[in-house]
Amino acid sequence: MLSRDQYLKLPLKERFIKLSKNEDDRATGLHEKLIVIDLHTHITDEYDRQRVWNSGLTCMFEAVAVVEEIFEESMKQLGSFYHFVQTQPDMRLGFCAEDIRRAKKDGKQLVMVQFEPQTIGLQIDRIDTLYGLGVRMMMLTFNSRNYVGDGCGERTDSGLSYFGLDVVERMNKVGMMIDLSHCGDRTTLDTIEASKDPVLFNHTGARALHPKCKRLKTDEAIKALAEKGGLMGISAVPNQLSNAKRQGIEDMLNHIDYAVKLIGIDHVALGLDKVFGDQVAHHRAGANTVFFLSRVGQELNADYMEGIESPEEWPNITRGLVSRGYSDQEIEKIIGGNALRIMEQVIG
């Protein structure tokens, strides 16, 4: 097995799933033609313009990693991020579904903003402020407990607080999408029940395939999500979808297959949660990160994700779906169509 450095020195095509000539042409054509949406990105981490362009993404939901309950600092980060996007010649900011279609037509890459996690403290009117500033998705909790509910790394899971119920109602009212990727099981189910709009797990996987990992979602939660019209985005974070020594695109495809069989093609999407840097090295270096990962059952066994280590390798997902026998219409839904639909429903 190659080291991560050796792997990344391979030409991009050599990192891709091998297909027949007809399959290769089909996958390449689909990725170029269709709207491609990543529901959870970190493209500004070690940003590389060419590699972002190579991803073929039409729209990325950039997660502005904010400090919970420090609103002023979060506003600084948001402003800095907007300035960054506005200085990129191939990018533009977006705030609704029509902006995505327009960007695809114009040959641009659209960036929309989500907050990871929420940063409102106990001031619910800040939701209106964030919406006015362009934030279109927000995570209710990160790994620990806040005023809204419990994260997936807590010892107990008491579900949504009364304030949390008010937050869900206000986010529904303004038209902001709710993400539950890091929420505890009870908080997840409470939110699905409380929300009048469909909600998202925008970067996760199926716990049934990796039972130790509490960051992944139970069948109960996944089914509840789909019954309310919600969407599950499959991630590509190393050591989250599996504890094997060797991990990669096939693990991600396994979680896609599982979700499709469990809840149907209309409720599955993609949120890779990838960076251009070395995610595993970053996780190993952070004492707090290692502590959290141990709480949720993630072991840092693999050094990287073969075939989907970088956002640049995004076209390999389309190739993987072709290799797994998905139709053109099914691929269209998974790589962007389902995300576009829920955006139209929730934010317009």
Which parts of the chain register pLDDT below 70? Answer: 67-69, 287
Tell me how far apart the alpha carbons of residues 299 and 169 are, in angstroms, rounded to a whole number.
37
Domain count, the chain: 1
CA distances to 3, 13, 225, 323, 324 from 54, in Å? 23, 12, 32, 21, 23
CA distances to 4, 71, 342, 344 from 226, in Å? 37, 33, 12, 17
* 94 lies in some domain: yes
Alpha-carbon torsion (63, 336, 180, 301), positive or negative:
negative
* 69 lies in some domain: yes
Nearest of 270, 251, 256 to residue 315 by alpha carbon: 270
Q: How far apart are the first and last CA of the chain?
A: 47
| Residue-range definition of the domain harbouring residue 126 | 24-346
CA distances to 116, 120, 210, 286, 310 from 251, in Å? 25, 36, 10, 25, 15
Task: Report the CATH number that the domain containing residue 119 is assigned in CATH.
Answer: 3.20.20.140
* 5 lies in some domain: no
* 146 lies in some domain: yes
Neighbours of 325 (CB within 10 A): 8
Per-residue pLDDT, 69:
67
* 188 lies in some domain: yes
Question: How many C-alpha atoms does 346 have within 13 Å on its Cβ side?
Answer: 30
* 14 lies in some domain: no
* 18 lies in some domain: no
Tell me how far apart the alpha carbons of residues 92 and 85 are, in angstroms, rounded to a whole number.
6
- The residue type found at 205 is G
Query: What token pair was written down for 283?
Result: 């996780």
Strand segments (E) across 175-230: 177-179, 200-204
Per-residue pLDDT, 117:
86
pLDDT in tens, 198-253: 999 999 999 999 999 999 999 999 999 999 999 999 999 999 999 999 999 999 99
Tell me how far apart the alpha carbons of residues 345 and 348 are, in angstroms, rounded to a whole number.
6
- The residue type found at 175 is G
Per-residue pLDDT, 68:
66
Nearest of 94, 81, 89, 84 to residue 35 by alpha carbon: 94
Per-residue pLDDT, 287:
65
Tell me how far apart the alpha carbons of residues 91 and 174 are, in angstroms, rounded to a whole number.
26
DSSP label at residue 163 = H
* 60 lies in some domain: yes
- Residue holding tokens 């139209």? 344
Tell me how far apart the alpha carbons of residues 289 and 175 are, in angstroms, rounded to a whole number.
32
- The residue type found at 216 is L
pLDDT in tens, 54-76: 999 999 999 997 766 688 889 99
